Structure formats: C-alpha cells, structure tokens
Structure 1
Amino acid sequence: MTETSTPTSAKPQPDAKVYRRRRIIVFTTLAVLLGLLTTAGVYTSNALGAPIPTAAPQVEDPAPIAAAAQPLVLPGFGAYAVGAVGFDGLLAAGNDQTPMALASITKVITALTVLSEHPIPAGETGPDIAYTDADVDIYWDMIAQNGSVAPVEAGATLSLKESLEALLIPSGNNYGISISNWAFGSEAALAEKANAWLAANGLVNTHVVDSSGISDDNVGTAADMVRLGEIALEDPTIAAIVASKSVEIPELGTLTNSNKLLGTHGIDGMKTGTTDDAANLLFTADYAVGSSTVTVVGVLLGGESHAVIDEAIAAMLDSVVPGFHEVAPLTANQVLAEYDTPWGESARARAATGASLVVWNDTPVDVEVNADPITLAVRGDEVGTAVVRAGSKEIIVPLVLDATLADPGAWWRLTNPGALDEQSAQSGTE
C-alpha cells in the first residue's frame, strides 16, 4: 500500500520593509555611538593636549622715594664746582664754565702727564732721577721769580715718587721743571704733552703753558677741575701723595703740605694754587654714608686769600654732606607681584635680595617691576626683575616664585573647556 505524505506548514517570512527598517535603526545607532565615541575621543585628546592657561602677574610697584632738597651754603665769589665720584653731573656750581688762572693746580696736570708715560707700579717708587747743578740753578731761578720751591741738592738721587712728592706736597715749582726735563727733555715738551693729555681726557676748556702754573696763561674751568680731581684719584701714587700732611725724604728733609684744610671737614686732598691776585684749592673729601663711602671732589678758584677760600669751602662741604643719604627701596623677600591660576593655585614673586643705594639730595629713587606671565613653574624659579633707578644708577634684582604652580591635572582639563579654548585662541593669535 502506498503511503501518502502530508505537506508541512511553511514558517512565516518577515516583511522586507520591516527588515530594512530594523537594519537602518541598528546601523544608525551604531553610527551615532561611533560618532559620540569619536567626538569624545577628539575632545578628550584636545582637552588633555591643550596649552595650560597663562597666569598674568598682578604687579605691586613700590612708590618712588624722594627726600627734601638740602639747602647749600655756596661761595659768593669766584668760580666753583662740586661733584661726587659715581654721581651724575655737578652737585653745586657757579661760574663753572669760566676759564680761570689755575696757578699750582697745574702741577696735578704735570704729574698725571708724566705718569701717563712713566707709570709707577703699585707698591713701587718708580725710576730714579739724578739731580745736578742744573737743577740747583732752576731752584734759584724760581726763588728769583717769587715762586714756591722745594729743596734740591746736586748729586742727590730721588725716585720718581719722591720727586712727585716734592712737586705736590710743598708745591715745588722747581721740581715741575726738573721732572719735565727728565721725562720729556724740556718744559715746553711737557706742556705740549700735557695739552694732548687734557684733550684726550675731555678737559677741553683747560690749557697749560708750563709745568708749575707760575704763568697766568695756565687756565681751566671749575667743571674741568672736578673731572681732573676724579682722574687724579684713580692713580694710587697721586692719591697717596696729596693725602699726606708731610713726608720725610732723607735727601730733602721734612716736606709739609701747603693744603691747610687737609684732615679737616673730611678733606684728604688735593692741591692748592696761589697767584698774585687770587687763591685756589682743588679738594677731595670722603664721607661715610650708611654702609658706603662717598668721595666728593670740588674746586674754588679766584678767592681773595687762602683763609677766605678755606672758610668758604668748609661751610660748603658742611652743607653738602647731609644731602647724601642711603635709601633701601627693596627688602629681601618683598612681594612685588602675585599670580592666581584658573585652577585655584596661587604664588607670589618676591625680591631675591634687598637693594640699597646712596643718593644725593632730592634725587628720586624708583622701582620698576617686570614680572613675566607664567603657566607652570617651580618654587624658586626666576619670573622677572625689579629695576631700581636713581639718576644713572641702576640695580637689577631677580624676582623668584615662592610656591610651585603645578599642572591642574586631567579632570580639571576635561571639565574646564572654556579656559582651555580661551588659551588656545590667545595662543593662535600670538
């Protein structure tokens, strides 16, 4: 018997439209998720790699410091000028551009000219000079001209330093000529060399015709004489000689300084000058001011007598000295700028050291703070400078950070896109 099979029921097939719709939803969802993941990855990468926002300094500029002007007691005659080593210009002056007869101040020019070609090393006395009958004749000739002299003996041998002592301390005119003959062959040759030396050193309003100043044609201005005194102090041989009240030279005996103010009112040099009509004094003086020493250089030309100019110079110096004062516009660790970061850290820029300087009279002292913008920094980093200025004087003090400004970390970067975007925009425009 043949079996007859019964047909099996067929499974229902999904609608094609429904299938396509499901597939679109799946892939769309996957695309969105992938896009979101990509966007998140890009954001994260950008946020973590973005530059750190810069912290700008909030600067605290100290106020300028200026003392009240110091009244001065000035001579009412002649030509005068007063300066100080390391200070701008002249502290006081009157008729300082008027050429005046220098008299024996000329001997300082002679000494500097000789030493420019025959320098004496520190601690030594220089070459020997033999004195002869010709030098004795020069001595008597100066006596006949009523010039100041220092003793000399034929056959004596003096060092160059001893010879300069005889020139500058008792103001021996005869030694000016004798030294000129030894150094350059004649006094006229010395005068030529001296005028070249004056021009080379910028003393253009000063001119000499002899070695001693016996002629009134040896002239110079008070302003030039202040500079001359400063140059002379730079030579240790001359500085030591003009500060000596007296010296003992075996061949000559005791030589006494003609500067009667020496050792008073702080005066430690430099040279008298006397003409038939007037008295002059080129002077130097040292004063302790705070932790420093101030060297004053001045001159008074054309006084009636040495007694008159000595009194005027003493009064002038006594009024000048109080005008010097020490100012300390900065102290070590003084806060000069502050930094606040967008992520909440802060630090301050402090002066690495203190600063002090001596100023004259009402010269203002100013502090300029130059603090740098910073991002990340370590405590002790230099972040700028403070510049202290008084006239041409300038002191530069480093600024150092007193705390570390560390990286804000990933979480802050991811949660503060605005700060990062702003920094990126600023970096792009710089």
Structure 2
Amino acid sequence: MTEDEARAAKARVYRRRRIVVFSALAIVVALLTTGGVYTSNALGAAVPAAAPQITDPEPVAAAAQPLALPGFGSYAVGAVGFDGLMAAGNESTPMAIASITKIVTALTVLEANPIPAGESGPDLEYTEADVDIYWDMVAQNGSVAPVEAGAVLSLRESLEALLVPSGNNYGISIANWAFGSEQALVDRANAWLAAHGLANTHVVDSSGMSDDNVSTAADLVVLGQIALQDPTLATIVASASVEIPEIGVLTNSNKMLGTHGVDGMKTGTTDDAANLLFTADYAVGSSTVTVVGVLLGGQTHAAVNEAIAALLDSVAPGFHEVAPLTANQVLAEYSTPWGETARARTAEGATLVVWGETPVDVEVQAEPVTLAQRGENVGAAIVRAGSQEFSVPLVLDAAIEDPGTWWRLTNPGALD
C-alpha cells in the first residue's frame, strides 16, 4: 500500500467513527429536544422492583419421645410455655384432690391480700378459737400444724403452716381472718376457679378434708402453672422445711422435693388415695423448662412418688434446643435488570426449645426491592413451633442503586 492509499484508508475510518459518534449524539440531542416528554419520563420513572428468590429452610423435627407412664390413676404433665400435655391418662376424670385444695385456698387469699416481693404481708393474731380448730382437726384425723393462743404470725408464715406440713387448721384460721368464715372463702374460691377457666374444679372447704373437693388432672396442671406465677406461693411450696419462731420447724409433706428435678408443689391424701401436684425444672441448652404435672389415685405416696420419678425421667430428655436459623444465613436473593445483586440475610440467629416431635418451621417473608441501602430491612423469617412464634429480621448485604441515565434512556420497555 502506498503512502497516499494509507492516508485515504485512515480518513475513511475517521469518517465512519465520526458518523457513529455524531449519530449517537444526534439521537441523544433529539431525545433531549424533540423527545423531551420521553426523556423526562424515562429519567423520572421508577425502576422495576426486583423480586426475591426465596430459600425456605426445611422443617426440623425430632423423633417421638418414649415415656414411662403410670399404670394407675389419673395423670397429666405439661410445661410452662408449651402447648398441650406431654403425657396424660384419664385426665378429664373428676377425682378427689384432698390437700391440693390448699393451693386454691392460698391463691384465693393472696388475690385478696397480695404480698409484695420480699415482704411477709399483714399479721394474723391467733386465739383460743384457733387452738379449738386445731383440736377439732386432730379429732377428725386431719393433718395439722401447731398453733398457740396469743401467737402473731405474718400471712406468709401462716401460709407456710398451711402448705408445708399441710396444716388443715390453718386453712380455717386463715379463711376466718381473710373472709370472716370458711364458707365465705369457699364461695370466693369457686368464683376464682370459674374466673380462671377451671370449670372441672370445685371446692367445699379450705383444706381438702371432704372428698367433694374435686378436680381433673388437666385442670390441676393449669392450676399449678397459675400458682407458679405468685412468687410468695412458689417459694413456699419449694421449701423442704421452714422455721417459724412462734411454732418451730415445719417439714414439707412432699418427699420428692430435691429429687428428679422436683421443686414443688403439694401432696394430697384421702382415705383411699395418695395424690401429688408437682413441679420440676430442667436446664435445656441456655433455657430452663418448668414442668407441671399431677398424679391422682395412687394407693400410697411411695407408689405415687415412684411412678412420678419414672415419668419425669422419661419426659425430661424429650426437651431439646433447636437452632433453625444461624446469623447471616442467606434466605433470599435479588437480581436487577441492570446487573445489581444483593442477598437477604438473617440479622441474627434463632434458637428455641421444643418437646418431642414438635416440628420447627421457618416461613420466609421477603419483600420486592427497587432501590435500597446495605443493611436495609427487607422482610422477616417467621419461626414457628407449636404456639411459639417469633420473627428474625432479614437485611440486605449490598446496596441496590439507581441504574443511571444511560440505562434509563436505552431501556424504555423496562421502566414502570
């Protein structure tokens, strides 16, 4: 190629480039001048939302927990904060509850005379009339706690005498002090039971002497859970013994305290049966699970205690901690038409305690995203297990920014 031919070729290339550049500029100028409406709309239009591509974690479920069930009576076992019952048998059959009645008495009295945390409540002055009540209970072969005329006990100490050694006489004395008579307490107690939905529970005295004091195992699990909410009552029933200066040391009738996790609550003995309303606490991962149960209708307290020990030892291992989500776990991904990408991650991990084969499910709820900053909340992961439900926020791990002028002008069909 000659020098003249080379110069001519370069000139042709230059002219072609000028044509391309000026043509593009002409298009832009035309859009900015003659196509002003389109340009304005394109630059101001909302960009299309990026829909999330969601990843739903698989449900988590353990195997069913084998249980050592009592071979007699009526029983039920539940746990605070958990749905339903872990174990049950004849749980809807009304049965005499004996001194478990005293829990109803205590709750009724404490509703009318609450004891602030760390305090002992008002004083009760005991008289010869209370001594007479004591001897009347002895004559009826009822359980009693010592009392002396002239003694002054706080309401807390009086409840300790009622609940720890199961003193029937203190049920009547406290009722007379709080409501004027035992019958007045009974009326108040039955109204309290009805108000708390314990429709299958009915009392006729303050101590449980009569077999007409009845309940069901299912109702008593609820009663036990209510009782635990009163710190005074919960502390008293967990005491192996108490010392009251006016009357001495009193020992708890519940011989299971301190064994198999048991830390409450109340024995009950009829002429024909032994009963126990019990509570127990177990460490599960970073949490503590409180079990509430009852066994009614045993021949002896030894038989009841043995059956409850086996039952609790089989129930406790069924509680386990599950971690359905970890921190920074990717649960959704976003991709825009102009090439931006981001992922929705969990802001934190999640753990919860379940029992047995209760499934743990995660539902991912991620919103479509247009423009967003890194760390912006774009939804939640809903964790469910039985009645337990809570949410974990989902946040973006990268920003989704505006595509810019050129993309807007050259992608008219992609804009809203």
- Give the TM-score normalised by the residue count of structure 2: 0.92
Q: Distance in 2 between matches of 1:35 and 1:226?
A: 81
Partner in structure 2 of residue 146 of structure 1: 141
Query: Does residue 50 of structure 1 match 2:45?
Result: yes
Query: Does residue 84 of structure 1 match 2:84?
Result: no
Q: Distance in 2 between matches of 1:57 and 1:36?
A: 34
Partner in structure 2 of residue 286 of structure 1: 281
Partner in structure 1 of residue 150 of structure 2: 155
Q: Residue 413 of structure 1: CA displacement?
A: 1.1
- Evaluate the alpha carbon distance shift between residue 186 and residue 369 of structure 1 in structure 2; reply closer, same or farther with a 3 A threshold: same
Q: In the alignment, which of 87, 102, 107 is matched to residue 102 of structure 2?
A: 107
CA-to-aligned-CA distance 1:38-77 (integer Å, 9 cap, x gap): 5533332232222201111000110100001101111111
Q: Residue 417 of structure 1: CA displacement?
A: 2.1
**Alignment of structure 1 residues 181-330 onto 2, 5 Å:** 181-330=176-325
Q: Residue 328 of structure 1: CA displacement?
A: 0.7
Equivalent residues of 2:228, 2:234 under 8 A apart = yes
Partner in structure 2 of residue 378 of structure 1: 373
Partner in structure 2 of residue 389 of structure 1: 384
SS at match of 1:77: coil
Query: Does residue 69 of structure 1 match 2:64?
Result: yes
CA-to-aligned-CA distance 1:219-278 (integer Å, 9 cap, x gap): 000011001100100001100000000011111111000000000000000000001100
Q: In the alignment, which of 412, 417, 420 is matched to residue 407 of structure 2?
A: 412
Q: Which runs of 4+ in 1 moved over 6 A?
A: 34-37
**Alignment of structure 1 residues 126-141 onto 2, 5 Å:** 126-141=121-136
Equivalent residues of 1:355, 1:395 under 8 A apart = no
Q: Residue 332 of structure 1: CA displacement?
A: 0.9
SS at match of 2:233: helix
Q: Distance in 1 between matches of 2:194 and 2:324?
A: 40
Q: In the alignment, which of 154, 157, 162 is matched to residue 167 of structure 1?
A: 162
Partner in structure 2 of residue 30 of structure 1: none
Residue segments in structure 2 that go unaligned for 5+ positions in a row = 1-28
CA-to-aligned-CA distance 1:368-395 (integer Å, 9 cap, x gap): 0010001110001100111000011111
SS at match of 1:356: strand
Q: Distance in 1 between matches of 2:413 and 2:72?
A: 76
Q: Distance in 1 between matches of 2:31 and 2:200?
A: 87
Q: Distance in 1 between matches of 2:166 and 2:44?
A: 82
Q: Distance in 2 between matches of 1:329 and 1:372?
A: 21
Q: One-letter code of the match for 2:395?
A: V
Q: Distance in 2 between matches of 1:144 and 1:185?
A: 23
Partner in structure 2 of residue 399 of structure 1: 394
Residue segments in structure 1 that go unaligned for 5+ positions in a row = 1-33, 425-430
Q: One-letter code of the match for 1:354?
A: G
CA RMSD, aligned part only?
1.2
Q: One-letter code of the match for 1:99?
A: P
Equivalent residues of 1:370, 1:386 under 8 A apart = yes
Q: Distance in 2 between matches of 1:321 and 1:334?
A: 31
Q: One-letter code of the match for 1:60?
A: T
Partner in structure 2 of residue 11 of structure 1: none
- Evaluate the alpha carbon distance shift between residue 416 and residue 161 of structure 1 in structure 2; reply closer, same or farther with a 3 A threshold: same
Equivalent residues of 2:31, 2:38 under 8 A apart = no
Q: Distance in 2 between matches of 1:192 and 1:410?
A: 80
Q: Distance in 1 between matches of 2:184 and 2:42?
A: 83
Partner in structure 1 of residue 358 of structure 2: 363
Q: Distance in 2 between matches of 1:55 and 1:218?
A: 66
SS at match of 2:35: helix
Q: Distance in 2 between matches of 1:49 and 1:219?
A: 75
Partner in structure 1 of residue 349 of structure 2: 354
- Evaluate the alpha carbon distance shift between residue 89 and residue 36 of structure 1 in structure 2; reply closer, same or farther with a 3 A threshold: closer
Q: Distance in 1 between matches of 2:34 and 2:94?
A: 87
- Give the TM-score normalised by the residue count of structure 1: 0.89
